[in-house]
Amino acid sequence: MSTADATVDEDAEVRSPQLDLLRRFIAGDLAELRVVLALALIWVIFYVQEPRFLSSVNLSNLVLQTTAVGLVSIGVVLVLLLGEIDLSVGAVSGLCAAIMAVLSVKHGWSPYLAIAAGVAAGTAIGLFQGSVFTRFALPSFVVTLAGLLAWPGFQLEVLGATGTVNISDPKIVGLTSTFYSDTVGWIFALVAIGAYAATALRARQKRVSQGLAAQQLGLIVLRIGLVAVAVLVAVWVLNDDRGVPLAALILVGFCLVFFYLTTRTTFGRHIFAVGGNAEAARRAGIHVTRVRVIVFMIASSMAAIGGIMAASRLLAVNQSSGSGDFLLLAIAGPVIAGTSLFGGRGSVWHALLGALVITSISNGLDLLALQSSVKFIVTGAVLLVAVVIDAIARRQRQAAGRV
Amino acid sequence: MNANGSTPVLALKGVSKSFGPVEALSDVDFEVQPAEVVALVGDNGAGKSTLVKTIAGIHTADSGTISFEGQEVHITNPTDAVALGIATVYQDLALCDNLDVVENLFLGREETGEGPARVLHQLDEVEMEKETGALLENLAVTITDVRNEVGTMSGGQRQQVAIARSLLGEPKLVMLDEPTAALGVRQTAQVLQLIKGLRERGYGVVVISHNLADVFQVADRIYVLRLGRKAGEFGRDASQEQVVAAITGASGNGGKQ
């Protein structure tokens, strides 16, 4: 391609992007941006009420509180993408954490083996639930509701007479109490920004070299800049307190892995296809049953990992681990962030964003020393508002699409 | 072989199919030449869908023979039909509304990159988008942005995407079930244009349609089914009245040319 050609191509793309961006924002395609703005608003409100909310200590705590529910939400996002639901993730997280704790504390297993066993138990539960769901063509709602009722029973059995197992193993506790030094934190930040910039620029380069329409270079640089600022500010805040926590890296790491899986691989494409039109997917030769079972295995495995992180932070597993509002928050988070309950629409990052929103609300209300009644009502109201906004945006998008 | 000496891409001889006591097809002979558009018309329950589904491998014929490019073949399931080179676009189109044009076209046959990308099943989006652009351009289908979700597109565009998708498997015969049903005037024109394009590219095309105006615009031959039997076969020069008479059974002898 000659330089002249390249310039013409650039010009052809010049007028649309900004308008396109605005249109997509209004139409709700950029749900993420909307959630980030909502999150900023929530933070400002709490900051005005209580300046300590934006202190580095509290923000560090917020990050730690986000990890367990965020990890569980990653699995929930995948299930929601299929257009299914998994109500058992809370119960599974409690049971798997109990299995890990008992193996580690009562049977003296090495921490790695105990954690692996806990996660494997989650995978097995997912295989069981997914198989029952697909084999008998039952609604996933009912199958996982049975799990929600049954797994806590197994949890009581595993925990035994005492009902509470205190975790002391430094490796397991270290999952949520390890913080990296300032220098290491900055290195993480630079590597992350560098990798993001390289990936974005290389992807654009590849499209341009093949003569396909590519995003304007300016927009990509802007995006890289925004990500860089976000990462640097986050590391700066975390370094101001105890440093970058290992738990945050685990959460972001899992998000990256599943982001890659869902958006860059054939398997991820098939998840979206099954969620969008299962019959079309079947006719296109996709093993719909296999996709569904694997996704339920992933969901239960992520629930186990989230449960183990929660246990590590609490330093114990007890009879109420994984119960209460844990399940509902793990499902509400992605929905608030814009993942559709009807399948085929959503992103793994919604798990992280949604968990941040929900944890921010609960953290902020705790800080204001409001009663838990208020906390429940506010969280519920935010969920409702988010879903209503999403529904309105979708209707607009459809109206705009059907010319 | 037929009169003009070319081998038909598809030839059915004496095909019958019953569902219990109901005889859906009885002793049907049906041929499609390369680069020919055959319209399959008939009243509801005449056996059009049964015939198409028998060719597509969803039903198996009870008796009779099916030849594909001169070879007698046994089509017992949809995979057989696709492997032979028979592509079918059903009325529901089987598209995923939440996926874009490229994603829909390559659904179930996604291309992966080389080396580590293949091991990871990493999608080669650039290659797929390039091929999509080339295919649509070749078919003279205009879609502004192949990265737009199919759900936001018009019925005509969706039909065009579904037809384009059926061509990716490099078929010899394309069967379209009611491709213009529920489309507006301009969209119908687009789809009919695409069907003419298929003929120019040498595909054998079977079109089921209720709309005789559309049929007369694109079909080289009109094949009428009535109560599971052939009730007539017309060329382009036939009148609409003749075809209607065959469909309703008013013409008696089937109006053979």
Kindly report, residue by residue over A196-211, the tens digit of the pLDDT.
999 999 999 999 998 8
Instruction: Give me the percent of chain A exceeding a pLDDT of 70.
Output: 91
B10-91+172-179+203-248 folds as Rossmann fold (3.40.50)
pLDDT higher than 50, residue B180: yes
pLDDT higher than 90, residue A28: no
Residue of A80, A97, A123 lying closest to A343 (CA atoms): A80
Q: Do A280 and B94 touch (CB under 8 A)?
A: yes
Q: Do A280 and B98 touch (CB under 8 A)?
A: no
DSSP state of A54: G
Q: What is the C-alpha separation between A330 and A148, in angstroms, rounded?
A: 14
Q: Do A273 and B109 touch (CB under 8 A)?
A: no
pLDDT of residue A399: 65
pLDDT higher than 90, residue A250: yes
Kindly report, residue by residue over B186-223, the tens digit of the pLDDT.
889 999 999 999 999 999 999 999 889 999 999 999 99
pLDDT higher than 50, residue A3: no
Placement of tokens 């976000």 in the chain: A230
Partner residue opposite B99 with nearest CB, options A272, A279, A397: A272
Kindly report, residue by residue over A291-338, the tens digit of the pLDDT.
999 999 999 999 999 999 999 999 999 999 998 889 989 999 999 898
Kindly report, residue by residue over A231-242, the tens digit of the pLDDT.
999 999 999 999
Listed by start position, the domains of chain B span 10-91+172-179+203-248
Given pLDDT bands bounded at 50, 70 and 90, which one contains residue A22? low
Q: What is the C-alpha separation between B7 and A242, in angstroms, rounded?
A: 80
The DSSP element (H or E) to which A317 belongs, if any, is strand A316-317
Q: What is the C-alpha separation between A401 and A397, in angstroms, rounded?
A: 6
Chain A / chain B CB contacts < 8 angstroms: 79
pLDDT of residue B188: 92
Q: If you measure CA to CA, which chain A residue comes closest to B145?
A: A213
- The more confident residue out of A89 and A35 is A89
Which residues of A are less than 8 Å from B149 in CB distance?
401
Q: Do B123 and A266 touch (CB under 8 A)?
A: yes
Q: Do A269 and B109 touch (CB under 8 A)?
A: no
Residue B78: CB atoms within 10 Å = 16
ipTM for the complex shown: 0.85
Q: Do A397 and B152 touch (CB under 8 A)?
A: yes
> pLDDT averaged over chain A?
89
Q: Does A276 touch chain B (CB under 8 A)?
A: yes
- The more confident residue out of A10 and A324 is A324
pLDDT mean over A137-156: 96
Q: If you measure CA to CA, which chain B residue comes closest to A274?
A: B96
Q: What is the C-alpha separation between A255 and A350, in angstroms, rounded?
A: 10
pLDDT of residue A14: 40
- Taken in order A72, A78, A81, A84, the sign of the CA dihedral is negative
For residue A253, the distance in angstroms to the closest alpha carbon of chain B comes to 17
Q: Does A204 touch chain B (CB under 8 A)?
A: no
Placement of tokens 């738990």 in the chain: A247
pLDDT mean over A210-225: 88
For residue A80, the distance in angstroms to the closest alpha carbon of chain B comes to 14
Q: Does A284 touch chain B (CB under 8 A)?
A: yes
pLDDT higher than 90, residue B91: no
Give me A398's structure tokens. 């459809």
Give me B88's structure tokens. 């079918």
Partner residue opposite A269 with nearest CB, options B123, B151, B154: B123
pLDDT mean over A67-83: 97
For residue B123, the distance in angstroms to the closest alpha carbon of chain A comes to 5
Q: What is the end-to-end Cα distance of chain A in Å, rounded? A: 35
pLDDT mean over B121-135: 93
The residues near A68 (Cβ < 8 Å, ≥ 6 apart) are: A93, A306, A307, A309, A310, A313
pLDDT of residue A380: 87
Partner residue opposite B98 with nearest CB, options A206, A286, A344: A344
pLDDT higher than 80, residue A396: no
pLDDT of residue B233: 93
- The least confident of A18-27, A90-99, A177-186, B113-122 is A18-27
Please state whether A144 falls in left (phi above 0), alpha (psi between -120 and 50) or beta: alpha
Q: Do B110 and A266 touch (CB under 8 A)?
A: yes
For residue A360, the distance in angstroms to the closest alpha carbon of chain B comes to 31
pLDDT mean over A378-393: 82
Partner residue opposite A285 with nearest CB, options B108, B130, B151: B108
pLDDT of residue B2: 47
Q: If you measure CA to CA, which chain A residue comes closest to B162?
A: A280
- The least confident of A48-52, A127-131, A385-389, B25-29 is A385-389
Residue of B207, B225, B228, B231 lying closest to B217 (CA atoms): B207
pLDDT higher than 90, residue B171: yes
Given pLDDT bands bounded at 50, 70 and 90, which one contains residue A347? very high
Given pLDDT bands bounded at 50, 70 and 90, which one contains residue A10? very low
Q: How would you write chain B as a 3-class SS string? A: CCCCCCCCCEEEEEEEEEECCEEEEEEEEEEECCCEEEEEECCCCCCHHHHHHHHCCCCCCCEEEEEECCEEECCCCHHHHHHHCEEEECCCCCCCCCCEHHHHHCCCCCCECCCHHHHCCEECHHHHHHHHHHHHHHCCCCCCCCCCEHHHCCHHHHHHHHHHHHHCCCCCEEEEECCCCCCCHHHHHHHHHHHHHHHHCCCEEEEECCCHHHHHHHCCEEEEEECCEEEEEEECCCCHHHHHHHHHCCCCCCCCC
pLDDT higher than 90, residue A66: yes
Domain A33-178+245-384 annotated CATH 1.10.3470: yes
- The more confident residue out of B44 and A116 is A116
Placement of tokens 């989006």 in the chain: B125
Strand partners, B89: B176
pLDDT of residue B210: 87
pLDDT of residue B257: 42
pLDDT mean over B101-126: 91
Give me A343's structure tokens. 């399948």
Given pLDDT bands bounded at 50, 70 and 90, which one contains residue B85? very high
Given pLDDT bands bounded at 50, 70 and 90, which one contains residue B255? very low
Q: What is the C-alpha separation between A63 and A57, in angstroms, rounded?
A: 10
Given pLDDT bands bounded at 50, 70 and 90, which one contains residue A11? very low
Amino acid in the structure at residue B98: N
Which residues of B are less than 8 Å from A210 in CB distance?
126, 130
Listed by start position, the domains of chain A span 33-178+245-384
Please state whether B17 falls in left (phi above 0), alpha (psi between -120 and 50) or beta: beta
Q: Do A210 and B126 touch (CB under 8 A)?
A: yes
pLDDT mean over B117-123: 89
Q: Do B151 and A277 touch (CB under 8 A)?
A: no
Q: Does A212 touch chain B (CB under 8 A)?
A: yes
